[in-house]
Structure 1
């Protein structure tokens, strides 16, 4: 049997906001990526691009934040299990970092393609 309370939209939303607040408060990488997101969001709105390209730009920008949140969750769970150096713990953390790296790579490539297409 799962230790899970009955679904409640408002309570679950409060958990999500609590997690977001914790990310902003404790994770410097997330803060940096959030600042980048806040700066680039207006560009998506005002750029002369198709709706599809704007959607791709938005999705890749948000994907970067999602990847950082996932990486932070992985790191916290690993640290909860053991603070000692263990090769499997290190591999899990490295894979979390790879998620962030790939999301940033996809973000940069997507934005470059869209911007080059617009200004060529």
Structure 2
């Protein structure tokens, strides 16, 4: 029984909760692959960049930083897609706050992409040109 103020849709815990959470996560990945072209493009790029990180990085820390940047882009894109889907579910008409929410999500994706490119370039320059920052 739900306690006052709690959502009846929230699970209580245990192994069943973990199984449901995994199922919902896989449904989210499936939806992103089916409906989100930007996510598909970034995932394709990630499949190339993650193995490349093992060649570009000179040590475990650099490899992990390179991979983390790529995963960060995917995470931010998923969150942006969730915001866009929610905004579209609320109204397909133009609304300034829904437009702002979508624009903010897009800006977050752009920042994560810029940070990723800057990180990869910095580590690449450091490795191949011998510059230490």
Report the equivalent of 1:2. 7
Structure 1 residue aligned with 2:64, among 55, 70, 73? 55
Bigger RCO of structures 1 and 2 (CA < 8 A, at least 6 apart): 1
TM-score (norm 2): 0.86
**Secondary structure of 1:113's match?**
helix
Structure 2 residue aligned with 1:119, among 109, 124, 128? 128
Change (3 A) 1:81 1:118: same
Residue pair 2:66, 2:119 contacting (<8 A) in 1 also:
yes
**Runs of at least 5 residues in structure 1 that lack an aligned partner in the other structure:** none
Q: How does 1:64-79 map to 2 (within 5 A)?
A: 64-79=73-88
**For each residue in 1:67-98, what CA deviation from the matched residue of structure 2 results, as whole angstroms up to 9, or x when unmatched?**
11010000011111111101111000000000
Structure 2 residue aligned with 1:86, among 86, 95, 98? 95
**Deviation of the 1:25 alpha carbon:** 1.0
Q: Which has the larger radius of gyration?
A: 2
TM-score (norm 1): 0.95
RMSD of aligned Cα (Å): 1.0
**Runs of at least 5 residues in structure 2 that lack an aligned partner in the other structure:** 1-5
**Secondary structure of 1:119's match?**
helix
**For each residue in 1:3-57, what CA deviation from the matched residue of structure 2 results, as whole angstroms up to 9, or x when unmatched?**
3122311111011011001101110000000000001111112335121111110
Report the equivalent of 1:14. 23
